[in-house]
Amino acid sequence: MNRKQISRRAQLRVRRTFPAGMFVSLLTGSIVTLVGIFAGLEPMVILMRSFVSAVVLGCLVSLGISIVRLANSEYKKRNVA
């Protein structure tokens, strides 16, 4: 078994990262599904709406968090030196 060696700091970073985009997309899909059921929509409409909303919101949250992390790291680099 040939395993790629990664540093301890990289391992900690991987452990600390929380998949917020995935969490938000699952929550959004569930909420949209429940709203569709209560509204009495057709199953295909509920499926498409929940899928699209989950993908869009999950991507937006992941992108937003990555931008905030990038800005935070740049801020730390400038103020440490």
What is the SS3 assignment for 16-46? HCCCHHHHHHHHHHHHHHHHHHHHCCCHHHH
Q: Which residue has the tokens 């938000």?
A: 24
> With 70 as the cut, is the pLDDT of residue 3 above it?
no
pTM of the predicted structure, to 2 decimals: 0.70
Question: What are the domain boundaries of the chain?
Answer: 42-81
Write out pLDDT tens, residues 34-80: 999 999 999 999 999 999 999 999 999 988 888 888 888 777 777 76
